Amino acid sequence: MAHPLNTNKQFMVGNGILAFAVIFVVVLFIYMSLKLQQDKKVKRNFEETYTISLEKGFVGDSLSLLINDSLMMNKRITKEPESIEIGRFAEQSALMIVDNLTEKMSAFNLSEKGGVYRFEKDPDGIKQLAQE
């Protein structure tokens, strides 16, 4: 005659196997997600550069140049033309020129190919000149 607790023993063994299977699946998914995060962290280096040139009308102004919220220059302009060369560091970039005295901001999109950007200031604001 079979012992009456055999059924309970088989049930407990089945539950144990299922528990280990669930733990294995959870560990597998955690491993996969960590692997994907490491792949995303690969930094891309860009070869393109931007040359920002403040050509006319900026002498005596205190300006801040920002690219994608990163401060590139913050100083009073004493000579013209004032140029700064910056390496590209993001997929898409925007240049913001902020007048520190009036806090007026002018925004310009930058090409993914880099290039020379020339600007002049007149009473209407800051304008971008034709690219070379």
CA 60 to chain centre: 32
CA 86 to chain centre: 16
- Residue 27 belongs to what domain range? 1-42
Please tell me the predicted confidence (pLDDT) of residue 2: 59
Residues 37 and 4 in one domain: yes
Residues 32 and 82 in one domain: no
Residues 17 and 61 in one domain: no
Give the single-character DSSP code of 34: H
Residues 89 and 36 in one domain: no
Which tens digits make up the pLDDT trace of 71-123? 988 989 888 888 899 888 888 889 999 988 888 888 988 888 888 989 998 88
Tokens of 101: 């005295």
DSSP SS3 for 96: strand
Enclosing H/E stretch for 19: helix 6-40
Query: How many domains does the chain divide into?
Result: 2
Tokens of 67: 């690219």
